[in-house]
Amino acid sequence: MTEIKKIDDKVSEVIITASDYRASVYTYGAVLHSFSHCDHDIVLGYDDYKDYLTAPGHLGEVVGPFANRIAGASFVMDGKRYELEKNNGENNLHSGSKNFGQKFWKIDSWDDNSVTLSLESPESGGFPGSHHAVVRYSLSADGALRLEYTISSEHKCPVNVTNHAYFNLNGKGDIRNHLAMINASEYLKTDSSLIPVQRCSVENTDYDFRSPVAIGTRHNGDYDTCFIFSGKNRAVVEGDDYSLEVTTDLPAVHFYTASSLTSLVPGKGGRRLGAFDGFALETEFFPDFPNHVDYPGCYTEAGKPFSTWTQFRLIRK
């Protein structure tokens, strides 16, 4: 069952229910506001959608056209240099003011188990061309929340779209007690500004999550790292009573344990959000791929839309 609740003239909340599972999405930012089983919600967020407008951390947003970082806030494409906004030191993070996740989307269609949202994003922030973005959220009775994206543009432009939800499988508390498994034999080593500099093996490092590991037992649980999938594109995180399985057709996932998360206002239920209160698994192409000829990535252009999918499956253990 899908229910649409109009909040005001700009924003609606879309609630999808399938058996004992429920997900809700705001039309602002196409934000994933909640994902629950029997009212056990695993998504960090705010009770009032207006708090998402000014909140740091991009909670729940559909980030695009380019998620993650672009070094020096610039890239060269077909011999032309494009200058972007510097909003993360000298770099561009999550597309700056162009970010899809900070825009008002519209509802295109819905059925019993899904909703499709769309956005017309004019040229801005240094990214070439206007974009048409579509995301479809669908929920099944076995707890699979699937996100399907289609991005098109009038001019050639690098695209790297993701969802930036933060999860806590226990609903609250420090997520460094969660167990994480990421099917990745390599990760991207970064410099001090989190720009990738080298592909490295996870073997004998703090980045080896090929078998389940308690997040906090290594590296103080502080990860802001792109992992390169090997074999099946899959990650699983386990809490006390629930686990979350993430699968995708994208080649990598950015694992962020929210060491810098802060909350200007209280989150859901009046609880203030802070460091290590959640984790993000941002499926993606490699960060900064327009500046690395050997990194996988994608470019949209007239007549060449880009489509991808990611699925979050919530499992009661």
Residues 108-167 have pLDDT tens digits of: 999 999 999 999 999 999 999 999 999 999 999 999 999 999 999 999 999 999 999 999
Taking the C-alpha atoms of residue 115 and residue 129, their distance in angstroms, rounded to an integer, is 27
pLDDT at 163: 98
Taking the C-alpha atoms of residue 40 and residue 296, their distance in angstroms, rounded to an integer, is 37
Taking the C-alpha atoms of residue 216 and residue 206, their distance in angstroms, rounded to an integer, is 11
Find how far residue 262's CA is from the centre of its chain: 17
Tell me: the pLDDT tens digits for 13-45? 999 999 999 999 999 999 999 999 999 999 999
Catalytic pick from 33, 94, 131, 164?
164
**166 near 31, Cβ under 8 Å?**
no
pLDDT at 264: 82
Catalytic residue flag (residue 164): yes
Taking the C-alpha atoms of residue 101 and residue 262, their distance in angstroms, rounded to an integer, is 18
**256 near 223, Cβ under 8 Å?**
yes
Strand partners, 110: 115
Q: Which residues contact 106 (CB under 8 A, 6 or more apart)?
A: 27, 117, 118, 119
pTM score, whole prediction? 0.97
Give the residue ranges of the chain where pLDDT is below 50: none
Q: Smallest Cα–Cα separation from 249: which of 164, 133, 146?
A: 146
Q: Smallest Cα–Cα separation from 75: which of 188, 195, 177?
A: 195
Q: Smallest Cα–Cα separation from 258: which of 271, 277, 235, 284?
A: 277
**315 near 168, Cβ under 8 Å?**
no
**30 near 102, Cβ under 8 Å?**
no
pLDDT at 263: 84
Helix (H, G, I), strand (E, B) or coil at 309: strand
**62 near 133, Cβ under 8 Å?**
yes
Domains and CATH numbers, the chain: 2-316 (2.70.98.10)
Catalytic pick from 13, 61, 282, 284?
282
Torsion of CA 278, 179, 197, 184, to 10 degrees: -130
**36 near 144, Cβ under 8 Å?**
no
If you write DSSP's letter for every residue of 259-298 in order, what string do you get?
Answer: TT---SS--GGGPPP-TTS-BEEEEES-TTGGG-TTS--E
Catalytic residue flag (residue 37): no
pLDDT at 23: 98
